[in-house]
Structure 1
Amino acid sequence: MTVIAIRDLAKQFGDQAVLSGINLDLNQGEVKVLMGSSGSGKSTLLRCLNRLVEPTSGSIQFKGKEILDASVDVRALRKQIGFVFQQFALYSHLTVLENVTLALRKLEGMGLKEANEKALHELSQFEMAPHQSKYPSQLSGGQKQRVAIARALAMDPAVLLLDEPTSALDPVMSRDVCDLINHLHRNGITMLCVTHDLGLASGIADRVLFLDKGVIRADERIDVLANDHSDPELQAFFGKREPV
């Protein structure tokens, strides 16, 4: 089943074309990785999918329904398409538990007891329940990432979008995030992940979408992309060089 179908999507900021003619399908239970150099449009594409950025033209269908119509309830949409931000976006004045329960109480109308139970269930999946009373400043980067993912999953989204989930982490924590994403995959969570981290990409998905200057230039196995000498942009990104 196709959960998200993107057709001819374009985004312009003034005279600058950031995305051009994007076509992409994300199927239920699938993990896809989106890679490309800085400024290629990766994060903009991700943000278009839950209307954090409004596309200029094109179509995005979620479970067969167009989400770019003016009549779409954007708040309801964002409950179904969860977003894990690059810098975690945790509220510094709230505890771990309060960060996870906030949307459950404000958007879902849950009572405090029910919201706490739901939040603790999600936090326990990532071994973060013992840290429920801590503030973000008391957590490591990897722990903040786990809280951010638990917060998104507490809304029971159909799709989880991850924007550079290892960018602020050291190699050990990056491996932990890779294991965490694979755990979510085994549990049937559908994900689209933007990353610069080739190790993470290799660890969570067989295929990579390569975005260059707002255009998808490749949709291929990672080993093929890493050894492709025919496209100079792929050579530059993956760092593959012919022997001298």
Structure 2
Amino acid sequence: MALMEVRDLVKEFDGQTVLSNIHLDLHDGDVRVLMGASGSGKSTLLRCLNRLVEPTSGSILFRGKEVLGPSVDVRELRKQIGFVFQQFALYSHLNVLENVTLGLRKLHGMTPAEAKEKALLELSNFDMTMHQQKYPSQLSGGQKQRVAIARALAMDPAVLVLDEPTSALDPVMSRDVADLINRLHEDGITMICVTHDLHLARNIADKVMFLDQGVIRADDRIEVLSQHSDPQIQAFFQKEQVF
């Protein structure tokens, strides 16, 4: 059984269909990559998975249980689906350590001492312990990304969701993020990643889902998609960088 099963997912905004009949399976240990042109619905799909955006219709099963509907504890769901936002979403008035401990205290009910111990463990995994007292404005883009991922993983989620993890980074930092994602994959972390970065996609996954105008039109290896019979899909994956 898949860890997460998405079936017939539809999202409409003001009568406009943004996602149409999305089907997606995510298994333990998977790294799934979702690509598509701007406005194709990629980030909306990610936000539907943990109900940051409410789907219009369809089904999302998480560990065999439906997570859509008024009786579902959304806070509990979000503990299981860690989200790393495109612009990191770190609190500017909190230092690195405080950014990571906040959710542990508020959502997991840890004491300050317990939260600090857990946060420092995660930060050490990303070589960020020495920066624990710095504020986001004092960090580079790559350091912010590491803090955002550490914060998400500190909650011990079943799935890590990454929305454009290299969009604000230079090529060197982007390679570092690819290495980091591969390290997490080796550790068995289940991930789904939206990216415009074809180099990142090649480095972290064998297969890519292609989303176009709210529809998943292909799900295959990049080498296959770059020779796809549909000229639009072929052109997309023959580009060195996709925006």
Pairwise same-fold verdict (TM > 0.5): yes
Residues 203-214 of structure 1 correspond to what in structure 2 (within 5 A)?
A: 203-214=203-214
Question: What displacement does 1:235 show?
Answer: 3.0
Could you tell me how far apart the structure 1 residues matched to 2:201 and 2:2 are? Answer: 22
Residues 145-184 of structure 1 correspond to what in structure 2 (within 5 A)?
A: 145-184=145-184
3-state SS of paired residue (1:151): helix
3-state SS of paired residue (1:10): strand
3-state SS of paired residue (1:144): helix
Aligned to 1:224: 224
Aligned to 1:238: 237
Runs of 4+ in 1 over 3 A off after TM superposition: none
Question: What displacement does 1:237 show?
Answer: 1.8
Question: What displacement does 1:236 show?
Answer: 3.5
Could you tell me how far apart the structure 2 residues matched to 1:10 and 1:65 are? Answer: 19
Could you tell me how far apart the structure 2 residues matched to 1:56 and 1:79 are? Answer: 23
Residues 63-78 of structure 1 correspond to what in structure 2 (within 5 A)?
A: 63-78=63-78
Partners of 2:222 and 2:237 within 8 A in 1: no
Partners of 2:123 and 2:150 within 8 A in 1: yes
Question: What displacement does 1:82 show?
Answer: 0.6
Partners of 2:85 and 2:165 within 8 A in 1: yes
TM-score, with structure 2 as normaliser: 0.97
Could you tell me how far apart the structure 1 residues matched to 2:120 and 2:222 are? Answer: 37
Could you tell me how far apart the structure 2 residues matched to 1:25 and 1:238 are? Answer: 22
Question: What displacement does 1:69 show?
Answer: 1.9
Cα deviation, 1:156-175, whole Å, max 9, x if unaligned, reads: 00001000000000000000
Could you tell me how far apart the structure 2 residues matched to 1:210 and 1:233 are? Answer: 11
Could you tell me how far apart the structure 1 residues matched to 2:2 and 2:126 are? Answer: 28
Could you tell me how far apart the structure 1 residues matched to 2:223 and 2:234 are? Answer: 13
- Is residue 190 of structure 1 aligned with residue 190 of structure 2? yes
Question: What displacement does 1:15 show?
Answer: 1.7
Residue identity opposite 2:104 in structure 1: L
Say how many residue pairs are matched.
239
> Structure 2: any 5+ residue segments left out of the alignment?
none
Partners of 2:166 and 2:197 within 8 A in 1: yes
> Structure 1: any 5+ residue segments left out of the alignment?
none
Could you tell me how far apart the structure 2 residues matched to 1:180 and 1:36 are? Answer: 23
3-state SS of paired residue (1:193): strand
Aligned to 1:128: 128
Residue identity opposite 2:233 in structure 1: L
Could you tell me how far apart the structure 2 residues matched to 1:227 and 1:172 are? Answer: 29
Could you tell me how far apart the structure 2 residues matched to 1:187 and 1:133 are? Answer: 28
3-state SS of paired residue (1:47): helix
Percent of paired sites with the same residue: 77
3-state SS of paired residue (2:87): coil
